[in-house]
Amino acid sequence: MPQPVIAAVGSSPVGRTDFPGRDLFSLALEEAFEGLPDPAELADAVYVGNQSEQYEHQIMHGTLLAEWAGLRNVPAERVEGCAAAGALALRHAAKDVRNGEHEGVLACGVEKMTAGGTGGATDALSAAFDRAIEQRSGVTAPSQYALLAQRYLHETDATEEDLAEIAVKNHRNAAKNPRAQFSDEIDTDTVLESPPVAPPLKLYDCAPVGDGAAVALVTTAAVADELGVPWVTVAGTGTAANNIAVAERNMTEIEGAAVAAESAYEEAGLEPEDVDVAEVHDAFTVSEALLSEAAGFAPTGYGYQSYLPPESREAGWTDVSLSPSGGLKARGHPIGATGILQAIEAYEQLTGVAGDRAVPGAETALLLNEGGVADAVTVAHVLTAGTEVAR
C-alpha cells in the first residue's frame, strides 16, 4: 500500500477578516492556495473540515471548494466533528491515498467565525454539547473547560500561574509565526490580571474567535518527488470518541485522546519518546496540560509543566516541544481549519522551513485535535520527516 505524504500546504492568516461582505471561500482560500501546485492537475478528491453552517448559512463546502479549485466531477465532502473537523478531513485524505482509492486528495479546513459575532460563535459552539444535559442549562465552552480546570487544579500541584505560563509560552511562539492571530508577547501578570471568563479561566487562558482557511495536498512520495517538493509522511493516524457530556466523565483523564494517540503511535511504529514536536488542542490553557498527559509526554498530574524547558520538567517528561506555532491559544482557532493548521506547522517544522520558531533536529511530530469538549472526539496524527516508516 502506498504511504500517504503531505506534499504541499497553504493557509490564510488567522484572525478577523477585513471584508465582512465577502464569503470565506473568496477571501481566505485565495491565500491558502497561493503558491500550491495546481490542484486541478494533482487532486481527484476533496475533504473540507467545517464546524457550522450557522456562521454564513452555507453548507455544501466540498462542492464549493472543488469548484473554486477547478475540480469537476470528483468526490467532494464536508466533514463535521466540531473543532476536530480539519483533522478528520486530513485523516480521510490519508486513508484514501493509503488504500489506493485516490492518488491526490485535498484536505482543507475553513471557518468564518466572526460572521455571527461573539454571540453567534457561542451559540454555534454550544451545538457540540449534549442537548438534554448541557445545552438547555446554558453552558458555554469556557464554562465547560473551567470545570476541567477547577478539577485539575484541585487534583494536582498546578496553580493558576502555571496555566498562565502556558499562555505566555504560546504567545511567545506565536510572535514568530507570520500567520498567527496574535503577534505580541505577553507576561504572566497580563494573563492573571485579565478579565475572568469562567473562573479559574481568564481572557488570556482562552483561544480567540477568528477566521481562516488551510489546505494540505495529500499524495504519494512518488508524486511529491516528481513535483520536486519536500514532503512529510503521514506515518500513523487514530481517532476516538468517548462521550459528549462533561458531567458523565473523568474530567482530568482524557481517555479518548490517549486512545487516539496510542493508535497513531502503533500504526507509525513509534513511542511518545520519539516525538520531537507536538501541536495539541489548547483551546484553553488547561487543555495543553491535559493533552500532554494523554499523549504520553508527561506523568499524570504534571502536564502543566509543558511551558518549562525539557531539562526543568518533572522526571518522566519527554523532551517534546509543545505548540511552537503558538497553538490555538495564540496562533488562533478558526474551528474547521485548526486541524489542518496543526498539520501545516508540523510540515514546516519537519521540512526545515519554520524559521525562528524551528525546533532543532525535529524529525517526528504528533498532532492532537479535539472536537467538542475534550473527550467528545479526538483525532491524532504522527508525521515523520520525508521517510517511509517500516511496516
pLDDT, tens digit, 9 for 90 and up, residues 221-246: 999 999 999 999 999 999 999 887 77
Looking at the 3D structure of the chain, how many domains does it have? Answer: 2
Residues 343, 292 within the same domain: yes
C-alpha to C-alpha distance for 151 and 74, rounded to whole angstroms: 48
Residues 108, 160 within the same domain: no
Task: Indicate which CATH number applies to the domain containing 69.
Answer: 3.40.47.10
Query: Would you put residue 105 in left (φ > 0), alpha (ψ -120 to 50) or beta?
Result: beta
- DSSP string across 235-279: EEEEEE---S-GGGS-TT--HHHHHHHHHHHHHHT--GGG-SEEE
Per the structure block, which three cell numbers stand in for 160? 493558576
C-alpha to C-alpha distance for 290 and 257, rounded to whole angstroms: 9
C-alpha to C-alpha distance for 384 and 376, rounded to whole angstroms: 27
Report which residue type is found at 189: D
Sign of the CA dihedral with 383 first, then 385, 387, and 391 last: negative
Residues of the chain with pLDDT under 50: 388-391
Q: What letter would DSSP give residue 390?
A: P
Q: Residues 339, 109: contact at Cβ < 8 Å?
A: yes
Residue 25: per-residue pLDDT: 62
Residues 339, 304 within the same domain: yes
Burial class (CB in 10 A: 0-12, 13-18, 19+), 23: middle
Q: Residues 188, 168: contact at Cβ < 8 Å?
A: yes
Residues 222, 193 within the same domain: no
In-domain check, residue 330: yes
Q: Are strands 76-79 and 4-11 parallel, antiparallel or unpaired?
A: unpaired
In-domain check, residue 126: no
Q: Is 230 helix (H, G, I), strand (E, B) or coil?
A: coil
Query: Would you put residue 60 in left (φ > 0), alpha (ψ -120 to 50) or beta?
Result: left
The H or E element that residue 234 is part of is strand 232-240
Q: Where are the alpha helices (DSSP H) in the chain?
A: 24, 30-32, 39-42, 61-68, 85-98, 117-126, 141-155, 160-174, 188-192, 221-227, 255-268, 285-294, 327-330, 338-350
Q: What is the pTM of this model?
A: 0.94
Residues 100, 182 within the same domain: no
C-alpha to C-alpha distance for 342 and 112, rounded to whole angstroms: 18
Q: Is 196 helix (H, G, I), strand (E, B) or coil?
A: strand
CA angle 367, 274, 168 (to 5 degrees): 55
Residues 197, 227 within the same domain: no
In-domain check, residue 353: yes
Residues 240, 224 within the same domain: no
Q: What letter would DSSP give residue 288?
A: H
Residue 391: per-residue pLDDT: 31
Residues 25, 141 within the same domain: no
Residue 390: per-residue pLDDT: 35
Q: Residues 32, 6: contact at Cβ < 8 Å?
A: no
| Domain limit, last residue, from 197, 232, 267 | 232
In-domain check, residue 123: no
Query: Hunting for cell 493558576 — which residue is that?
Result: 160
Domain containing 110 equals: 4-117+209-232
Residue 180: per-residue pLDDT: 96
In-domain check, residue 127: no
Residues 216, 290 within the same domain: no
Residues 166, 297 within the same domain: yes
Residues 339, 295 within the same domain: yes
pLDDT digits (tens, 9 = 90+) for 352-367: 999 999 999 999 999 9
In-domain check, residue 101: yes
Residues 101, 228 within the same domain: yes
Of 334, 337, 305, 376, nearest to 144 by C-alpha is 376
Q: Residues 86, 336: contact at Cβ < 8 Å?
A: yes
In-domain check, residue 122: no
> How long a stretch of residues is the chain?
391
In-domain check, residue 338: yes
pLDDT digits (tens, 9 = 90+) for 166-216: 999 999 999 999 999 999 999 999 999 999 999 999 999 999 999 998 999
